[in-house]
Each structure stands twice: as C-alpha cells, then as structure tokens.
Structure 1
C-alpha cells in the first residue's frame, strides 16, 4: 500500500510537471490529484516538492535515454533510426491528445535556478541525448564535428516540433521534418564513406 501511494504521487507529479511546469505545480495540486494525504507525501519525500520533482525528472530522463539508446542501437542505419524516433514522437503526441510534450522542457522553461540539482539534471539530459545521437552518426562514418551538428539539429527540431504539433494539434509537421532530417543524415553518411574511401585510396 505504501509503495502504491509513493508510485501514485510520482506519477501524478510527472503528469502535472509536463502540463504546468515547475512553478505551476504545487504540493496542493499533487495532493489533490493523487489523493494522497499530506503526511504520506512527506513520509516518502521528506525533502518536499524539490525532492519529488528531482526524482520524477531523473526517472523521466532515464526512460527517454533508455528508449533513445535502444532505438539507435537497433538500426545499423542512423537515418532509419532517426525516422523511427520522429514517428514515435508523433505517435506519443497523438496518443496524449497533444497535451504533453518533452518531459523536461516545462521544467527547463521555468528555469528553477534555486534548485541547482534540478537544473544540472536537465542540462545533463540534453547532453546525454545529443551524445547518443552523435555517437550513432559517428559509428556510421560521419565525421565527429558534423555528427555533433546533426545531433543538435535532431534534438532541437524535435523540441520545437513538439510545440508546433501541440499548437496545431497535428503530428504532420513532425513527419514532414522526419523525412528531411533523415535525408540529411543519409547524405552525411554517404559523404563520410566517400571521404574514407578516398583517404584509403591515397594512403
């Protein structure tokens, strides 16, 4: 029962954070939506709201990181993997009726500088996600500097597209950009292969 209460509090907080952000989510909101008594909240999370938000954000980051890593590892062709990622984001938006986007974006936009651990968690999350993309592109033969730029492009376009899709209540923009970005990655992989072949021929 205690574990059920803790899980309910975490799940409620995760949903509210994605809907309202850090400053828009109060302990009263969490208690009201979860149905948990105030005493149980402080029993499980003696650090109050900040401890709760940090735990939820850490779990969300770990979940996204795991799924991103698995998708990239499952495909030898990073362009195919990236197209899958965009389509997955499009399905996620449609499944939640365009009410939820990136799990950490609302926290970042609220800029909770008075909670350094939370700010660092968000910063490192983007570093992990961009790093996973970059590594996949490098493995496919894209030079490191270009791989980093492409990884930034993918991550930044996904973040922006989630906002556009939610505003228009349409996942079509996500799918259109998926094809364009995949084409760029395919070109970069081919160019990397040509460069390696040329270097090998002149060595």
Structure 2
C-alpha cells in the first residue's frame, strides 16, 4: 500500500508538471489529484515539493534518454533513426490527445532558478540528448562540428514542433519536417564518408 501511494504521488506529479510546469504545480494540486494524505507525501518525500519534483524530473529524463538511445542504436543509418524518432513523437502526441509534450520543457519555461538542482538537471538532460544524437552522426561519418550542429537542429526542431503540433492538434508538421531533416542528415553522412575516403586516398 505504501509503495502504491508513493507511485501514485510520483505519477500524478509527473502529469501535472508536464501540464503546468514547476510553479503551476502546488502540493495541494498533487494531493488533490493523487488522493494521497499530506502525511504520506512528507513520509515518502521529506524534502517536500522540491524533492518530489527533482525525483520525477530525473525519472522522466532517464526514460527519454533510454528511448532515444535505443532508437539511435536500432538503426545503422542515423537518418532513418531520426525519421523514426519524429514519427514516434507524433504518435505520442496523438495518443495523449496533444495534451503533453516534452516532460522537461514546461519546467524549463517556468525558470526554476530558485531550485539549482532542478535547473541543472534540465540543462544536463538537453546536453545528454544532443550528445546522443551527435555521437550517432559522428559514428556514421559526419565531422564532429557539423554533427553537433545537426544534433542541435534535431533537438530544437522536435521541441518546437511539439508545441506547434499541440497548438494545431495535428502531427503533420512533425512528419513533414522529419523528411527534410532525414534528407539533410543523409546528405551530411554521404559528404562525411566521401571526405574520409578522399583523405585516406591521399
């Protein structure tokens, strides 16, 4: 029962954070939506709201990192992998009826600078995700500097497209950009491989 209550509090907080951000989610909101007594919340999370939000955000970041890493590892061609990622994000938005996007974007936009650990967690999350993309591009032959720029492009476009898709309640923008980004990555890979071969031939 105790574990069920703890899980319910965590799941409720995760949902509210994605909907309202850090400042828009109060302990009263969490207690009301989860049905947990206040004493249970402080029993499981003696640090209160900040401890709870940090734990939930860390778990969300870990989940996204795991899925992103698996998607990139599943395909030798990073252009194909990235195309699949855009499609998966579109499906996710449709499944939640365009009510939930990136799990940390609402927290970042809420500017939780008064909780340094939370701010650092969000910063490092984007660093991890961009790093995973960059590594996949480099493995395929894209030079380091361009791989980093492409990784930034993919991550930033996904974040922006989630907002557009939620506003329009349509995943079509994600699918349209997926084709363009995949073509760009494919071109970068071909260019990088050709350059490596030319250098090896010298």
Q: What band does the TM-score fall into relative to the shorter chain?
A: over 0.9
Q: What is the TM-score of this pair, normalised by structure 2?
A: 1.00
Secondary structure at 1:113's aligned position in 2? coil
Secondary structure at 2:112's aligned position in 1? coil
1:186 alignment partner in structure 2: 186
State yes or no: 1:116 paired with 2:116.
yes
Q: Which runs of 5+ in 2 are unaligned?
A: none
Encode CA deviations 1:35-85: one digit per residue, 9 max, x unaligned.
000000000000000000000000000000000001101110000000010
Give 1:133 deviation, angstroms.
Answer: 0.1
Secondary structure at 1:153's aligned position in 2? helix
Secondary structure at 2:191's aligned position in 1? helix
2:26 alignment partner in structure 1: 26
Matches within 5 A, 1:120-139: 120-139=120-139
State yes or no: 1:73 paired with 2:73.
yes
| Count of residues in correspondence between the two structures | 202
User: Using the alignment, how far apart are the partners of 1:120 and 1:21 within structure 2?
Assistant: 16
1:85 alignment partner in structure 2: 85
Matches within 5 A, 1:159-170: 159-170=159-170
| RMSD (Å) for aligned C-alpha atoms | 0.3
Give 1:200 deviation, angstroms.
Answer: 1.1
State yes or no: 1:196 paired with 2:196.
yes
1:95 alignment partner in structure 2: 95
User: Using the alignment, how far apart are the partners of 1:114 and 1:191 within structure 2?
Assistant: 45
Q: What is the TM-score of this pair, normalised by structure 1?
A: 0.99
Secondary structure at 1:41's aligned position in 2? helix
User: Using the alignment, how far apart are the partners of 1:201 and 1:113 within structure 2?
Assistant: 52
Matches within 5 A, 1:44-63: 44-63=44-63
Encode CA deviations 1:173-199: one digit per residue, 9 max, x unaligned.
000000000000000000001101111
